[in-house]
Structure 1
Amino acid sequence: MKQYELKAIAHHLQQFSHIKKARRTEDNTIELNFDREHSYFFHMTRGESFVYKSDSIRPLQSYNAPFDTLLHTLVSSAKIIEITLPNNDRILRLTLAPKSSYKEKRIALQFEFTGRYTNAILIDDNEVVIEALRHIDAESSFRVIRPGVELQAIPPVERQHLDQPIDNVDDYLSEKYRAFEAKRIQGLKRQKLLTVSKKRDKLQKLWDKLPNPESLAKEEQRYQNYGNLILANLYQIKPYDTQLTTYDFEGNSITISLPKGILPNRISEYFFNQAKRMRNKAKNIHIEQENLSTQINFYTNMYHAIKQAKETHELELLMPKRGKSKRKKEKVKECEMFWIDDYKVLIGRNSKENQLLLRSAKSNDLWMHIRDIPSSHLIIRTDKQNLPDSVIEKAAKLCVDFSLTQAGDYEVDYCKRRFVKIQEGSNVEYDKYQTLRVRKEGIEIRE
């Protein structure tokens, strides 16, 4: 970020008296909420650090590192003493009086927009590091940044600083956010669409390799004939024979390859078992087809939902870049699992999975379904807690996104699982429900 931009930001932020809330919202992004109403975000990624203004949103994950704990304890509800640019460099320092202190105490939150060593550092009144977003040791830099180590000043560098006026800082920072978000969304979409396409293509290849029932029926008949011919010509087969040449029941010459390691009197049984396998496979092929079809449709719907996403938090909800360690260990084969603000959400992909969801859900879990349209059943694990409206709204959108591709307005009914009565299969009757209206926007899909 340019020095003149930081200078304008420092002057602009002087109008506020308190920092109401301080927290990390992404791996390298810190939100400071000033005077309850104004949120500014400090994006501290190396090489592209900047400040932007946006509405406050709940982070997709919680951050509980020592830096986050101290950031909340010392900076949230702190009084602003002054905001400066030390040595007129690309460093923004907020000098604060923490509310939690039992006696007068001052600390500083210092944002360093210095390229390779971009950082956010908490400093006490003796210029000793309390904690930092990134620790830097002596092997990486002469300027060690670790708790308990005195913070050395960045050596001054002679630079020609531009001095461009910024008429409206809030508008300027909001526009920076829109440009950054648009670029980031495009990159995330490309990455996630490629991932989904690969998964869908892999499933499609498995579908294409499935044998059709007609070919399986022919194989069954062939093995059945082989078994009967072996029985009729058993007297001709010697223990060391590898094939049998004879005539079929229509008088045509035929050669049958004999399986190795099987006694002659058991060869017919081998072919009858093969015929039985083909018969069972033909009988159950529709189960494999349905399983693959529902998974292909699921990823197709996910592809469309990613295409329609307008904000990064929507993309991360659909396909999180990584999960917490406890979530990585938890895998569910019977349905798709998502996390919304730390609430587990389960979605059935077909009738069988919907039935399993209904049977496994607890009475206080929240059940959700699109009204009057065949769709996925969705369960939110509540652990007997009251769900925030935002969680219910996001879950309703997921229910629509993964059930339908057609644009339109849909009504999603939801209620406690205890008020849902299973009728037949995954058909249900339900009572004491509420309804949300969800709009699914249409887009042009080019594949």
Structure 2
Amino acid sequence: MHALRASHLGELLAELRPLCEGARVREIQPLPPRDLLVVLEPLEEGGPAVRRIRLSADPEGPRVHLQQGRAFKHRGSVGSFFDRAAALLVGSTLAAIEQPRGDRIALLRFRDATGEVPRPALVAELTGRHANLVLLDGRELVQAILVPPPSKAGATPRLIVGQPWTPPPGKPGTAADDEPLAIALPEPEVDDEDARPRRIDGPLSWRVEWHIGGAADGARTARESKGVRQRLERKLSRARSLADGLERRREAAAGAERVLQDAELLKAAMGQLHRGLESIELQDWYDDGATRVIALDPKLSPQANVQRQFDRYHKLERSAGEIEREAGLAAKRIAAIEGLLEDLAEGAAPEEIEQRAVAAKFLEPLGQDRAKRVQVQAARLPYRTFTGRAGGEILVGRNARDNDQLSLRIARGNDLWLHTADSPGSHVILRVAKDREPNQEDVLDAAHLAAHFSPLRDAGRVAVHLALRKQIRKPKGAPPGMVQVGGGKIRQIRIEPDRLERLLSTDRGGDDPGAPAGGPGPGSGR
């Protein structure tokens, strides 16, 4: 991984100044846990709609640059630092971009519309593993700290809210031997044209975004994937242990008839029993006169030992049905967790897997802040989930923006994508296991859902487009929900009300407050 040297940061800030100084702050966009975007309004007529400065305290790649690629908005709660930064900076003007001491520090100064009242400043300390973002007031007193300093006995932290800001210790190395940033980070070779920005205003920023930002994102994704995988594997191990225990109980319940025979034999031989016996050998009426040894509790009376055997039989008989039900639930839980692990191994986003696991109650959210974030997201997944007749999982986008997320980020390449051929509507994804063909009953179910979540929901016959997810792409500049289909086929279906009623009864997605119940949201959906 490349790290930004002080001289490289100087080159980046020199690139940013003419592009960003003097622009008004439209938004502070949080990218938890350690990044944010300062979204600026355009400086000139005909320029880009907005410019975005990314400040990252990610220990895997601390950096400051012009953000030119996609950055998906965070959904859910954010920390107090981001709320405070938005409250103080939105509406102000970016007055100056500085590099204190020529070190690995970027300081963004802001002013009000008149230029007379000093406004807060935002500091990015890009000091490797100790990188941080700090919000200052007009007197350079610390207002908020993104990463609170660790508490050490007998040591006073450098960063204290309400106290003057002081730069981190150390001094920059000499820039004389540093190679220019354009040599240290080569021109990005982007195979996917959708990943290349339509307009590159900051070529040095683009190199930093692609190389350092990409490496940091990859490391963070790998770290989060490992954490989610380990948590799911622990749950899977417990689920398998539970299934093993149920199997042992099932075997014991299968011996209920033998326990009943023991009880009847003891009852008939009541006169031979007395307190203190640990076992008794009796003639076995159920085995052609052979003998049977029956264990007894020496502390119990003859009547109590007989009753003990009958009670044991009734308990085993009652538990048989319960064991079967619990075993079925355990098997479904194991299969579902294995499916999540398989999706994760195939490259699904760890946050999406975690959301699904939390929504299914397989995992608990991590920590109080994380709990709020995951629970909010789990309550608002971008799709509804239905179960097909053959057990397949069918996902239906809630509205146009959710269609994009479902089709482009959540669905796998081998999944089946469905959409009404002659009208807007929700994107529908039928999950298909690797190297498997989709079950045709599930395909017909998914087609019914595509018709239902469209303006053609009351039609008797509907044409539905079917394609593999890997045949779907998003044209540049296309509105939310609109995609291009590079293949597939169109299938005419006759709506079966009974099939549709059964399908809708399996809805595990709940109602979407942002769209009419049972229908797609705004946008063409295709």
TM-score (norm 1): 0.73
Pick one of 36, 41, 44 that aligns with 2:57: 44
Q: Which has the higher strand share?
A: 1
Quick one: distance in 2 between partners of 1:40 and 1:92? 11
Cα offset, 1:379, TM superposition? 11
Pick one of 189, 195, 204 that aligns with 1:169: 204
Contact in 1 for aligned 2:278/2:298 (Cα 8 Å):
yes
Pick one of 38, 47, 55 that aligns with 1:32: 38
Quick one: distance in 1 between partners of 2:298 and 2:411? 55
Distance 1:277 1:322, change over 3 A: closer
Distance 1:34 1:95, change over 3 A: same
Quick one: distance in 2 between partners of 1:138 and 1:263? 68
Quick one: distance in 1 between partners of 2:321 and 2:106? 71
Contact in 2 for aligned 1:78/1:96 (Cα 8 Å):
yes
**Counterpart in 2 of 1:298?**
336
Contact in 1 for aligned 2:276/2:299 (Cα 8 Å):
no
Cα offset, 1:368, TM superposition? 4.6
**Counterpart in 1 of 2:233?**
197
**Counterpart in 2 of 1:72?**
86
Cα offset, 1:178, TM superposition? 2.0
**Counterpart in 2 of 1:22?**
28
Cα offset, 1:146, TM superposition? 2.3
Pick one of 255, 259, 264 that aligns with 2:297: 259
Question: Within the alignment, does 1:104 sit opposite 2:113 as a pair?
Answer: no
CA offset digits 1:69-93 (Å, max 9, x no partner): 3310222233121212112111111
Quick one: distance in 2 between partners of 1:186 and 1:302? 16
Quick one: distance in 1 between partners of 2:246 and 2:262? 24
Contact in 1 for aligned 2:92/2:119 (Cα 8 Å):
no
Aligned-partner SS, 1:70? helix
Which amino acid in structure 2 is aligned with residue 114 of structure 1?
A: T
Cα offset, 1:265, TM superposition? 2.0
Give 1:159-308 correspondences, 5 Å limit.
159-161=173-175, 162-166=178-182, 168-175=203-210, 176-211=212-247, 215-216=251-252, 219-249=255-285, 250-308=288-346
Pick one of 369, 387, 407 that aligns with 2:386: 369
Cα offset, 1:322, TM superposition? 4.0
Contact in 1 for aligned 2:100/2:106 (Cα 8 Å):
yes
Give the % identical residues: 13
Aligned-partner SS, 1:106? strand
Distance 1:379 1:104, change over 3 A: same
Question: Within the alignment, does 1:9 sit opposite 2:5 as a pair?
Answer: no
Contact in 1 for aligned 2:280/2:294 (Cα 8 Å):
yes
Stretch of structure 1 that moved more, 210-219 or 30-39: 210-219
Cα offset, 1:21, TM superposition? 1.8
Contact in 1 for aligned 2:6/2:172 (Cα 8 Å):
no
Quick one: distance in 1 between partners of 2:357 and 2:115? 45
Distance 1:132 1:281, change over 3 A: closer
Quick one: distance in 2 between partners of 1:237 and 1:265? 9
CA offset digits 1:12-53 (Å, max 9, x no partner): 221122332224321222222233534343221457422463
Distance 1:75 1:139, change over 3 A: farther
Which amino acid in structure 1 is aligned with residue 209 of structure 2?
A: S
Contact in 2 for aligned 1:121/1:132 (Cα 8 Å):
yes
Quick one: distance in 2 between partners of 1:88 and 1:153? 11
**Counterpart in 2 of 1:357?**
none
Aligned-partner SS, 1:151? coil
Cα offset, 1:104, TM superposition? 3.0
Pick one of 422, 430, 433 that aligns with 1:406: 433
Distance 1:98 1:305, change over 3 A: farther
Contact in 2 for aligned 1:138/1:144 (Cα 8 Å):
no
Distance 1:341 1:74, change over 3 A: same
Quick one: distance in 2 between partners of 1:108 and 1:13? 16
Q: What 5-or-longer segments of structure 1 have no aligned partner?
A: 330-336, 347-365, 381-386, 437-447
Cα offset, 1:132, TM superposition? 2.6
Which amino acid in structure 2 is aligned with residue 164 of structure 1?
A: P
CA offset digits 1:378-403 (Å, max 9, x no partner): 999xxxxxx76545766795998998
Quick one: distance in 2 between partners of 1:140 and 1:29? 31
Quick one: distance in 2 between partners of 1:393 and 1:370? 22
Aligned-partner SS, 2:118? coil
Distance 1:392 1:120, change over 3 A: same
Quick one: distance in 1 between partners of 2:133 and 2:206? 24
Q: What 5-or-longer segments of structure 2 have no aligned partner?
A: 42-48, 188-202, 359-363, 417-428, 458-496, 506-515, 522-526
Contact in 1 for aligned 2:344/2:350 (Cα 8 Å):
no
Quick one: distance in 2 between partners of 1:195 and 1:227? 47
Quick one: distance in 1 between partners of 2:157 and 2:321? 71
Quick one: distance in 2 between partners of 1:211 and 1:376? 28
Distance 1:341 1:253, change over 3 A: closer
Which amino acid in structure 1 is aligned with residue 6 of structure 2?
A: Q
Which amino acid in structure 2 is aligned with residue 92 of structure 1?
A: A
Contact in 2 for aligned 1:243/1:257 (Cα 8 Å):
yes
**Counterpart in 2 of 1:114?**
127
RMSD: 4.3
